[in-house]
Copies of this chain bind each other. A is one copy, B any other.
């Protein structure tokens, strides 16, 4: 079952762009992971908030994705920029446009 996640990351005041850069770096690292179908980083008119829409082949692949050393290091570096627990919506992807067929 294709697994999705929509996350709202609160950033420390004035650190929204820096946090977005880290999450874009994570997206680049995930280019190598075929189980990661999408990792889309966005902003909004809400300052110091970064949104990430993810699609994975399944939840286990997502859960395992933070294990590699370089990703763990990146998460550690980003932690000081995050201002609280992200709000997350877990999704069951039905389909649509823009997903690999």
List chain A positions with a Cβ less than 8 A from chain B. 4, 6, 20, 23-24, 27-28, 30-31, 36-45, 51-53, 55, 89-99
Q: A53-B53, A91-B51 are in contact. Are A96 and B6 (CB under 8 A)?
A: no
The residue from B4, B23, B27, B39 contacting A42, defined by CB atoms under 8 A apart? B4
B92, A44: Cβ atoms closer than 8 Å: yes
* Residue among A4, A27, A98 with most chain B CB within 10 A: A98
B6, A91: Cβ atoms closer than 8 Å: no
A97, B44: Cβ atoms closer than 8 Å: no
Which residues on the B side are within 8 Å of A40 (C-beta)?
Answer: 4, 53, 55, 93, 95-99
Which residues on the B side are within 8 Å of A44 (C-beta)?
Answer: 89-92
